[in-house]
Structure 1
């Protein structure tokens, strides 16, 4: 409990007793609590005067003076240690609330201490790795030489894994990531590369956690990781299954092929570790120079941040239970949810381990929302269904028709002009067709100049042509060029507007003034029409209009 959150609880009607010195190691002095209105007491007085007690670790040694009180603590009811705590609590009729048993549902996210502490652990894991790695994370080019970025591999993309990806990317590392569930979209959105294990198996388990993989999958998985780890400098493993040993992801053979100076940070050390060589709460260095960190208290290495997030989870927990009734309704709401059975609040029924000397059965965890299959666009389906023979046949047909049109022009067309026309058409088609959609906007701007020349050619042809077919072609050329010119300028202007600063004003319409003057002079002074036509015909092979 931190001072700011304690002040929030007091506004809801709670009286907050704090053991003297309780916040010292997290950076919170007794005076900070007193300034917020908390009552500082000895440990025994706090237990005696309180109805609801908060403790990180269940104080088993004090159970004898906690008769019929409510204890909110990090119990781990699914593990053997947690089961022993619950058994001892029943002897003194203590109601035990396990903060780690919050169900993985939307309304309970704000209460989830596992997620908040995992986020801290993921961030701290990157800092521990950076300290042990002792090289640059980002690429550096200096007078002393060029240094490549660190290569980081994150195994497990839960809350801790995603936090590790974000922190590693922030430091400039090149990140790869894997999870038994297909969360490649989340990984790519954070700028990391997805490592795919070539073996199909569903990875979603109960309660929103990953399930244990089959032996066949594990074998393929470990071989894949071995190849990736051979290229990486830092590995951060976060894969854990509640109540079960941590899955083995990094074998000793994989560690053996890692580069000297590499670092492995194992966040699953409590369950035995994801790395075969991990030792709980120790840092070891292998014969080939790989550092393996197995600290189980990574959140505690950022005590102030971890405490602030944990305390806010506790405040949200109380507010969820008492709802609008505030402090006076807390215990009635809690026990009322238990008495209602299936109709009661699922959060309250999930977190209460025992009451009045009897165990409380935990409801089955909610089924995770199945991951929707990635939709395949119609364009991708059509592309996949394309037949190379059909594509070649269509291209040959189009070329044949085009050649036939060229033959229809007759013998009066100069060979050089026909060659130029054919080359320009083919080159233009290939240039535009091969441009990615994202580059079409700047391409429109470039084609303004080309379309301007086409419009001039159409005007000249319209004046000199003697056949109706040639005049029709000239009109079509002028129309298409005009549309392209106007559209190109409109698109270009929209693109330039994206780079405008707030307050900038656009005075480009003033550039129409010279053109208007030029047009006015041409209309009012016929003797200058020849000069106007001369300017419009400034291109090779053209002559002024008569």
Structure 2
């Protein structure tokens, strides 16, 4: 009997992405699964129900009908309590759970004896690159951050020479050079801005310069050892943060657009731009805070809002930037899910091997308990 895969409509506020596309429905069926999709699942990504039907999926209007008997549930964000209550014991959920913060959702899934995998915990190893949803979505977030910055900024990005005079290029500063930061650098450069960037990880300097931007950092011994084996930034000492803040503070004063992207897994986002630094910026300047949902990198940023300060600086705190490009974001995420699902379905049957290094790293609940050490703690 085919593995029954269910995909429900996303119910988290502001979530426009979807977990499957017609293209990936076909790939899931080829794995030996049947796919049932809730009506309206693809609306935010401009995918009508008829395209899912044409791809071989069954479309049902009722959430419980979709989830009834489902072996595997694929979602963008974690399920609601009502969705969890409709799942059978032993069902498997794969989603971006935001497991460190969504503790109630995690507890509900454990209580319902649902095995849940968090796509944000997929390890950054070569074998798992095609499943790396954080990177696929961060790429789009970095791109969109520049577009939002250009929209909020009241001037042009490139240098323009006209008979009436020359328009100076915008100065863009990227703080945090992960996947999102690198894409932001590339996008700002393509638009013609003068770009600088900073990060606590020394390996990023070469990457920044390869994209035609200038690297800015206090390059001391702590900086040279500020990266984990997994490629993430380590928390920096207060002394280093003070030195880096002084350097960047002077730089920020001269910038037109500042984009912050710094996140530390399982912790609140570090504050990179203080209230004093915001106050030092020129009227009309723009800050884009990509970490606003994790507490924010910019003092005064508010999730889902654009704040205009007393000195005329705009602090953009849009959440879910990939969701502002829902069609492309859904297409990339759905492909990540297909690759991950390939680990769960063997010979047309659901076979969850928690000894597999990818599944072991990303499982959050199993057997009625929270099993991920970082989330459980």
> Structures share a fold, TM > 0.5?
yes
Deviation at 1:350, TM superposition (A): 1.4
- CA deviation string 1:213-253 (max 9, x = no partner): 11001111111111111111010000010111111111111
Kept in 2, the 8 Å contact 1:260–1:290? The answer is: yes
CA distance in 1, matches of 2:24, 2:216: 41
Question: Aligned residue for 1:73?
Answer: 95
Deviation at 1:326, TM superposition (A): 4.4
| Secondary structure at 1:31 match in 2 | helix
Kindly indicate whether residue 188 of structure 2 is the aligned counterpart of residue 168 of structure 1. yes
Label 1:52 to 1:321 Cα distance change in 2 as closer, same or farther (>3 A).
closer
- CA deviation string 1:145-185 (max 9, x = no partner): 11110000000110000010010011011100111001111
Gaps of 5+ in 1: 339-343, 365-546
Kept in 2, the 8 Å contact 1:346–1:363? The answer is: no
TM-score, length of structure 1 as denominator length: 0.62
Deviation at 1:126, TM superposition (A): 0.3
Question: Aligned residue for 2:218?
Answer: 197
Kindly indicate whether residue 123 of structure 2 is the aligned counterpart of residue 103 of structure 1. yes
Which residue, 260, 269, 279 being the options, matches 2:292?
269
- CA deviation string 1:187-214 (max 9, x = no partner): 1111111112254312113632111111
Kept in 2, the 8 Å contact 1:249–1:275? The answer is: yes
Moved more, 211-220 or 8-17: 8-17
Kindly indicate whether residue 365 of structure 2 is the aligned counterpart of residue 350 of structure 1. no
Kindly indicate whether residue 279 of structure 2 is the aligned counterpart of residue 256 of structure 1. yes
Q: Where in structure 2 are the equivalents of 1:518-537 lying within 5 Å?
A: none
Question: Aligned residue for 1:181?
Answer: 201
Kept in 2, the 8 Å contact 1:198–1:220? The answer is: no
Kept in 2, the 8 Å contact 1:221–1:249? The answer is: no
- Between 1 and 2, higher relative CO (CA 8 Å, sep ≥ 6) is seen in 2
Question: Aligned residue for 1:159?
Answer: 179
CA distance in 1, matches of 2:374, 2:275: 39
CA distance in 1, matches of 2:175, 2:139: 15
Question: Aligned residue for 1:470?
Answer: none
Kept in 2, the 8 Å contact 1:252–1:276? The answer is: yes
Q: Give the greater-gyration-radius structure (CA).
A: 1
CA distance in 2, matches of 1:9, 1:292: 42
- CA deviation string 1:309-333 (max 9, x = no partner): 11000001112344xx3432xx32x
Which residue, 16, 29, 32 being the options, matches 2:48?
29
- CA deviation string 1:292-341 (max 9, x = no partner): 0011211111110110111000001112344xx3432xx32x1xx22xxx
CA RMSD of the aligned region, Å?
A: 1.6
TM-score, length of structure 2 as denominator length: 0.89
CA distance in 1, matches of 2:255, 2:41: 42
Question: Aligned residue for 2:15?
Answer: none
Which residue, 10, 16, 25 being the options, matches 1:6?
25
Deviation at 1:347, TM superposition (A): 0.6
Question: Aligned residue for 1:64?
Answer: 85
Kept in 1, the 8 Å contact 2:70–2:88? The answer is: no
Deviation at 1:110, TM superposition (A): 1.1
- CA deviation string 1:368-396 (max 9, x = no partner): xxxxxxxxxxxxxxxxxxxxxxxxxxxxx
Gaps of 5+ in 2: 1-19
CA distance in 1, matches of 2:43, 2:364: 30
Label 1:244 to 1:125 Cα distance change in 2 as closer, same or farther (>3 A).
same
Bigger helix share? 1
Bigger strand share? 2
Q: Where in structure 2 are the equivalents of 1:85-234 lying within 5 Å?
A: 85-182=105-202, 183-201=204-222, 202-205=225-228, 207-234=230-257
Label 1:326 to 1:154 Cα distance change in 2 as closer, same or farther (>3 A).
farther
Which residue, 64, 83, 86 being the options, matches 1:44?
64
